[in-house]
Every structure is written in structure tokens, then in C-alpha cells.
Amino acid sequence: MKETTVNGLPVADTLTMDIPKQYDPKQAEQDHYERWEKQGYFAPEINRDLNAPVFSIVIPPPNVTGSLHMGHALQHTMMDVLARYKRMCGYRTLWLPGMDHAGISTQLMVTRELKKEGLTRHDLGREKFVERVWKWKKESGGQITKQLRREGASVDWSRERFTMDDHLSQAVREVFVRLYEEGMIYRGNRIVNWCPNDQTVLSDLEVQKDPQAGKLYYLRYPEKNSDRSLTVATTRPETMLGDTAVAVNPNDDRYRDLVGTTLMLPLADREIPVVADEFVDPEFGTGAVKVTPAHDPNDYEMGVRHNLAQIVVIDPQARMTEAAGAEFAGLDRYKARAKVVERFEELGLLEKVVDYEFSISKCERCKTVIEPLISTQWFLRMDELRDGAVMLLETQKKPQFVPEVPYEKIYANWLENLRDWTISRQLWWGHQIPAWYTPDGEIIVARSEEEARKKAGTTELTQDPDVLDTWFSAALWPFSTMGWPETTPDLETFYPTSVLVTARDIIFLWVSRMVMMGMKFMGDRPFDDVFVTGTILDKHGQRMSKTKMNGVDPLEVFDKYGVDATRLTLASVGTTDTRWNEKQVESYRNFANKIWNAARFCLLNSEGATVDPESLKAAGSEIALHDRWILSRLNQTAGDVRAALAGYQFHESVQTLYHFFWDDFCDWYIELTKSDVTAESASPVRDQARTRLLTVLEQALRLLHPFMPYITEELWQQLPGAHGPLLHQAYSGADPTIMLAAYPEPVAELIDEQAEAGMQALIDLISRVRNIRSEMNIKPGEPVSVMIGAPEEKLRAVFSANANQISRLVRASEVSISETLDAPRASARAVLVGGAEVAVPLEGLIDFAQERQRLGKEKEKLSIEASKLVAQLANPQFAERAPAEKVDEVRARIADIAQRTAQLDQTIENLQ
Ligand SMILES: [Zn+2]
């Protein structure tokens, strides 16, 4: 990306406007957001068109546990771009904000805080603890809303929600009761993932599997009344104390005669059977596996199939129980492991121990190793819910994932393999399960304690102490936030929502569950599209995380480069994982400065002119090429950006806008229109040129607004002319703001391919001559003569019509155009598009001998560089170890040098 040329633009003598030389993002950010919010621009009610199309997004509620990170800023930027864009297109737009109570994370945070005061949550008791969390939530939540405002998020604050709001809690209870009454929610004894540290059950999705270098222990179990024995292999010897069988595959010939016999379980002296089960993999270990139904999910299933006892030998603190035997009771699971192994060795029953790599399950939050335990929990059957989601995908292809590959398939496969969802959590912070127990153990599920009492016919009820998994309430978010179970106008208007913008890691945890619950309770999809964003990695390509301390704080970046520049960087990420690169933000900050300087030039030269969209329509073939061209580019850009946004191509939209504003508008159009615009005396020609320039600028600002809300509003407000008529008609009468201005639509008649081709030729010519000037070291003030040979008549016409522009932009004393080029030998030449050619005679401009010497030196330098690079490539160590992109870089540089050298040879030859 190029460097900005600050204030490189001449300015008329009379200042008609007072606009600061430097853009101050902070001031603009503060002023405008406050005003937008106060004026109610973020609320859908600002739209007065009763027939307006609707666009709605619910924010993925950030956890109330902390501050927003880059991932949030990324998603919020994309959502805000969409919301602002649709709003400007006249949609009744709602972007609903809110936060999630984040059960386990929040409880952990507050527990940690208490620990500093030397307290545990049990010291406070449930009620006081929950009070404390609410207090903490107030502070932490305030932090998040402040940050959202800072990001420029155009969310409707009047509809802000929290998953533990009364109304949302009511929705949670309603869903629970209905699912219970339909038999989909049940309470049962199951093997679950237990975190011994957090003392709660976790869903499969809250468990992370890490590779672990461990050991595989081969334990020998003697057969009863025999001198034979059977060897089992296990990574967890301590669980053998809870074994109730050994299993082999029924087709395994090695063990066929052992099936049905009885083994003596060492240390426990318990008799256990040998059973045959298809589940056993004959290839693993010895082909015989110990079965511990109370402490392993697969063994649990096997235990059910073979009617085996469940002996609990490990307790919720991960210590051995009494059932493990007096020798082991009370020991930590790892101490018990060492002791079991030691005892087997003493007894001569330890066959061997081998190194073994396996995957270990850890608590996603605290990284404690999960203990599978049998426990009484609440579960949700997923069959019917799953069917609803599958049907939606198969019949309506909803939600539409962007990108479709791979996410649709991942989502569909996951739905196929759903197990019942463990929805209870042993926490205090969250939605307490609406189930009460009578003194004789009957379960009453009700919407309130009052209703439970009525149902039970007694007041002696105890509520289930557990709370619901945080994702249970999150699954209802798209409709609970809009007033469900009541049929509210918001639900009728804004549900289903238009799109969900989210990270890929919560497609299962959240996206799929919203779809299932939406289908079940609303009878309709919660959103049409799911846009899955890329991830921002640190500069080494690592995921940013709190524990690695490698995160970049978006607030610091805002402070340093401004919100608009940061938003452009974030929007550019699109769906691709991207390493964070501050240089990129810096270049977009330069872009913001470029916009500012260009607008400043327009404003300082705006006397006698006004923003007037009608003036563009009137333009016909009588206006200059560059004018027709910029109108064509503007309208083409509007069409391209609209098309890109319709397909959620954020990266492409940013590139299109950047190229249009920087290259087309600033580098070329302002240069080409400058002589008219800065003419000393007022004239209709000057006024028209100024009006056109301002009007194109105004539309460019509108195109940029969804991405760069602040600088565009700041400049737009200063443009001369009436702003009211620029608003989209759905907002007519509102106080003018670029937020509510109509997003430019491409006008087909103004797209002019001929003008684009002509300008392309002109740009090509001017760039080539400028190149020649710099390559040949021609002094900037020295006029040159430009000779053009163009066989095509059309092209010649373009060049002659713009001969003055050419002279001005390349400092030519003379521009000659003919069908064939007839230039002196000592000329610098370049080939142009359309078979044309340009030459700049060098005689008298430069000292040939001196120049040949200079170019010779450059050649020599390049040749030295090239041989170094070639040697580097030939070095096998470099080829093996250097990253692929580094190797490519070296190759590309060698090719560049070769090309440049050929050029130099040609030039030196011409200078003989
Ligand atoms: Zn944990």
C-alpha cells in the first residue's frame, strides 16, 4: 500500500470553509455517537415507511465476564457494516444488543475475587453470593456497553437484554416446563463429565481433548480356581478397584474359551465375569479390557448391556471412596494410581508398563482432568429437536452458511450424531431449574414456586439447587429477547432475524441449538444466514488468548489509529484467518487522512458550488472524459459494493472502496479536474466542476459510511448544500445525518464503458511518462516533449482531446500524436495499451555519458544482489528450513532483477 501524500494538493487563495488541517478521530468519535444515540437513529422506529423491508440481527451476547477482545470487535464491525448499510438502503433495521450471564465463567470470576478476601462462596451462602455476582455484573457489564459504543456499534440500546432479565428468565422456565411436559426433559442417572475443581457437570462441548504422553499399564487378573490369568491394558489403573467385568470381542479366538469364566479381581478380591462384547477392539492392548461402569462412558454402556454393577470408587473431589477399599479410601486419584501399580508389582501381577500417547479430557475452563462420574442430572432428548433442524436444512436450505464449505457439512454431520444434552449444572449463578421436590421425593416442574405449590398441594417444597447450562438460555436468544412467550410486535416484525455473525467455534454450542429451539417454539428458523468470520491470530499465527497474554486490546488500537481505520482492518478479515498486523491499520489510518485531505481540498474550493445529485444526471457526452469517467467509476463502485455486501464479501467491499477513493478519485480525478476547480475567477465552468467534485465526494462518503462511520459523518456535515434531500425517503424529516442518507444506487446510464476505456488509456500514458521521468532521472521541473504513436483513431482522438491534461500532468512542453511513432534514437520508450507507443526524446535533458554510468552502476548492484539470492536458493539448508513464502519472495525478487536488468540494457543502448 502506498504512503499518503499529506497536503500535496494546491488550494485556492480564498478560504471559504474552516476545516482543520488534521483529522482528529477522537473528537468525531465522541460527538457523533452520542448524537446518533440521543436522536434515536439506532432504533427501527426512526424508519417511517410502513412498507419498509426489515433487517434484523441479534448480537451474539458477549459474556458478562470481561472486556471485549479483538474477536468481538471483528464481529461487531461486520454486523455494524451490515446494519448501517441496510439502514441506508431504507430497511427497518434492528440490531439488538445484550449480554450473557455466562454461568460457570462468571461464577469462577467472583469466586476468585472472594478468595482474595479469604472467603469461599460457601461462607457467603447462595443468596449472598448471587447478590454479589449481580453487583459484579453491573460493573463488568458497564465496561462492555462502553466498549460497544466506542466501536461505533449502531445497536438499539432501548432493546438491550441480559439473559437473566426477568422476562428472559420467564422464557427459560416456560421452555423447560413445556419440554418436560412433553417428556423431552428428564432427570436421570447417567455417566457425566465431571470437573473435580469446579465441582460441576460439563457438557461434551465444554470438554477439551488434549494429547497426553502417558503410560499403558498391563495388569494381570487371575482366573478363579485356575492358574491361568487374563491381562488387561489400561491408562487408569486406579479404576480397576471399580471393575465389575473384563470384556473381550466375541470373535477373538484367543479368548473364546475364557468367555463366561470368572476372574479374581486383585486388591479387591472380588469375583468378576469375562463377557463378550462387540465394542471391544481386539487390536487395542491385549484385546481384553477391564470394565468400570461407574467411571468410563463406554464401560457404562457396556455395563448396561451386560447388567453389570456400578461400583463408585472415585468421589466428586476425585478422591477414592470407601468402596475402593480401606487401603485406598480417601486417596487422591493419582496417589491411588501409584499405589495400585505398586501393589500389582508386589503381587507379581504387573506384566509391563509402556509409553502411550492418548487424548485426555480436560475442563475447558480450568484445565482440570475430567472425571467421568455417575450422577443424577437433567437431560434434554435431542431427537425431535434435531429432526426439526435437519428438515429445515434439507427442505429450505436454512440456515445458509457463508462460507457454505465447510460449515454446512460440519453442521449437518454434527446434527446426525447428537446425544442427549446434559442441561443441569452444579452452580449457583444461572437459571435455577424450575423443579421442586415434595418431602416424599415427587418431582414437580412448574413455572413458579406458586404454581408448583398448587400442583403439589403442599407448601413443603424444595427447589432443585442446580442451574441450567448457560447455552440453554442462549439457545432461546433470538426470540426470548423479543418478548416470547408473548406474541409481541417485535417478534412479528423482526423474527426470523436476517443473519447471525459468529465465530466458528460455537456452531455446535450455540448456532445449532438456536435453530433447534427456534423451530420448536417459533415454528420457524431463527435466522436466514449464518456468516462465519475468520479468526484474528497474533503476529506469529497463534490464537489470541488471555492465558497466553498475546491478545491485542481493541481500545488501544482505537486510541492509536482511530476507530474507522481499525474497522476497515477488521472488515477486511472477512472469512479468512488473519494474522494481526498493525501496519495494515496504519495504512488505513493513512487512508482516513487521505479522505480528509481530499475532502478538505474540495471544501476549500467550494465557493459557488453545492452538493447536487441532479447535476450528475444531467451530464451527457458534452462533459469532459474525466468527468464521464468518474461518474462511471462511482456508479460501478456503488454496484460492486452492493453486490459484495449482498454476498457478505467484506474484504472485497473494502478493497473496492479503497481503490475507488484513493486511486480513481484522489490520484486521478482530483488531479484532472483541478485546473477547472481552482480557476482564479468565478465562471459557470468553475461552478459546475466544483459542484460535480463535491457531489461525487458526497456519494463516496455515503458509500464509505458503513465501514468508516465517523470520518464520513464529520465531513458530510460540512458539505455545502441542503442535506435533508439526501436522506433516504424512509427517514424524511429526520435531522440530517449520513447514517440515514440513501446508500447510492448504481445508475445504469452513467456507467460508460467507452469513457472507462479512454481514461484507462490516458492513465496508462501518463503513468508511463511519469515512470520514464523518474527512471531517467529527469529533473522534476524540466519540461519534456511527449511523442505518441497510436494506430487506432479512437485512441488518437482521446489523446488529442486531453493533450492539455497530459501536458499538465507530465510537465510536457509539447505533445505530438501521430499514427506511427517516429522518435529520435535517444528516446525513452514505453508500450501502451491498444498497441500505442510513447517516446520521450532525451537529447538535451540529461547528460548521456553520466546517465550511462549511473545506470551501469545500478546494473552492477543488481547483479551482485542476484548472485547472492541465487546462492541462497542453492543452499539446501535454506531451501529446507525457510518458510515457503520466504522462498517465493526470493524467487520473485530474482525475476524482478532480471526484468529490470533487461530494461537497463535497452536504455543504455539507446543512450549510445
Ligand atoms: Zn473445571
Residue (of 613, 619, 632) closest to 698 by Cα position: 613
Tell me what percent of the residues of the chain surpass a pLDDT of 90. 76
138 burial type by CB count under 10 A (0-12 exposed, 13-18 middle, 19+ buried): exposed
Tell me the pLDDT of the chain averaged across its residues.
92
Residue 578 has pLDDT above 70, yes or no: yes
Tell me what percent of the residues of the chain surpass a pLDDT of 70. 97
The answer to whether 539 and 528 are in contact (CB under 8 A) is no
The predicted model gives 197-225 an average pLDDT of 90
Q: Give the pLDDT of residue 15.
A: 42
Could you tell me the distance, in angstroms and rounded to a whole number, from the CA of residue 102 to the centre of ligand 1? 14
Residue (of 684, 493, 645) closest to 94 by Cα position: 493
Task: Give the number of other Cβ atoms within 10 Å of residue 89's Cβ.
Answer: 18
Could you tell me the distance, in angstroms and rounded to a whole number, from the CA of residue 294 to the centre of ligand 1? 20
CA angle 374, 376, 379 (to 5 degrees): 110
Q: Give the pLDDT of residue 618.
A: 62
Distance CA 633, CA 639 (A): 10
359 — phi, psi (to 5°)? Answer: -100, 135
Distance CA 737, CA 723 (A): 8
Residue 87 has pLDDT above 70, yes or no: yes
Give the confidence band of 105 by pLDDT, cuts at 50, 70, 90: confident
Tell me 368's DSSP state. P
Amino acid residing at 329: A
Amino acid residing at 676: D
143 — phi, psi (to 5°)? Answer: -60, -45
What pTM was estimated for this model as a whole? Answer: 0.84
Could you tell me the distance, in angstroms and rounded to a whole number, from the CA of residue 428 to the centre of ligand 1? 15
Q: Give the pLDDT of residue 527.
A: 98
Could you tell me the distance, in angstroms and rounded to a whole number, from the CA of residue 201 to the centre of ligand 1? 9
Could you tell me the distance, in angstroms and rounded to a whole number, from the CA of residue 169 to the centre of ligand 1? 25
Q: Residue ranges of the alpha helices (H) in 288-382?
A: 297-306, 333-346
Could you tell me the distance, in angstroms and rounded to a whole number, from the CA of residue 9 to the centre of ligand 1? 61
Mean pLDDT check: name the lowest of 109-118, 317-326, 471-480, 878-887: 878-887
Residue (of 810, 737, 813) closest to 776 by Cα position: 810
Distance CA 308, CA 191 (A): 14
Residue 208 has pLDDT above 70, yes or no: yes
At 658-688, the pLDDT tens digits run 999 999 999 999 999 999 999 999 999 999 9
Could you tell me the distance, in angstroms and rounded to a whole number, from the CA of residue 367 to the centre of ligand 1? 6
* 462-463 vs 435-437, strand pairing mode: antiparallel
Give the confidence band of 16 by pLDDT, cuts at 50, 70, 90: very low
Distance CA 441, CA 187 (A): 13
Q: Give the pLDDT of residue 907.
A: 82
Residue (of 216, 211, 213) closest to 235 by Cα position: 216
Residue 11 has pLDDT above 70, yes or no: no
Could you tell me the distance, in angstroms and rounded to a whole number, from the CA of residue 365 to the centre of ligand 1? 5
The answer to whether 32 and 713 are in contact (CB under 8 A) is yes
- Ramachandran sector of residue 842 (left: φ over 0; alpha: ψ -120 to 50; beta: rest): alpha
Containing H/E element for 637? helix 625-646
Residue 885 has pLDDT above 90, yes or no: no
Distance CA 624, CA 195 (A): 74
Give the confidence band of 10 by pLDDT, cuts at 50, 70, 90: very low
Q: Give the pLDDT of residue 2.
A: 34
Residue 1 has pLDDT above 70, yes or no: no
Q: Which residue has the cell 553520466?
A: 850
Q: Give the pLDDT of residue 620.
A: 63
Mean pLDDT check: name the lowest of 509-523, 780-794, 834-848: 834-848
Q: Give the pLDDT of residue 54.
A: 98
Q: Give the pLDDT of residue 9.
A: 43
Residue 13 has pLDDT above 50, yes or no: no
Could you tell me the distance, in angstroms and rounded to a whole number, from the CA of residue 847 to the centre of ligand 1? 78
Could you tell me the distance, in angstroms and rounded to a whole number, from the CA of residue 200 to the centre of ligand 1? 8
Mean pLDDT check: name the lowest of 49-63, 169-183, 440-454, 533-547: 533-547
Q: Give the pLDDT of residue 419.
A: 83
416 — phi, psi (to 5°)? Answer: -60, -35
Could you tell me the distance, in angstroms and rounded to a whole number, from the CA of residue 196 to the centre of ligand 1? 7
Buried-state track 545-575, b at ≥16 Cβ within 10 A, e below 16: eeeeeebbebbebbeebbbbbbbbbbbbbbb
Could you tell me the distance, in angstroms and rounded to a whole number, from the CA of residue 108 to the centre of ligand 1? 9
Give the confidence band of 619 by pLDDT, cuts at 50, 70, 90: low
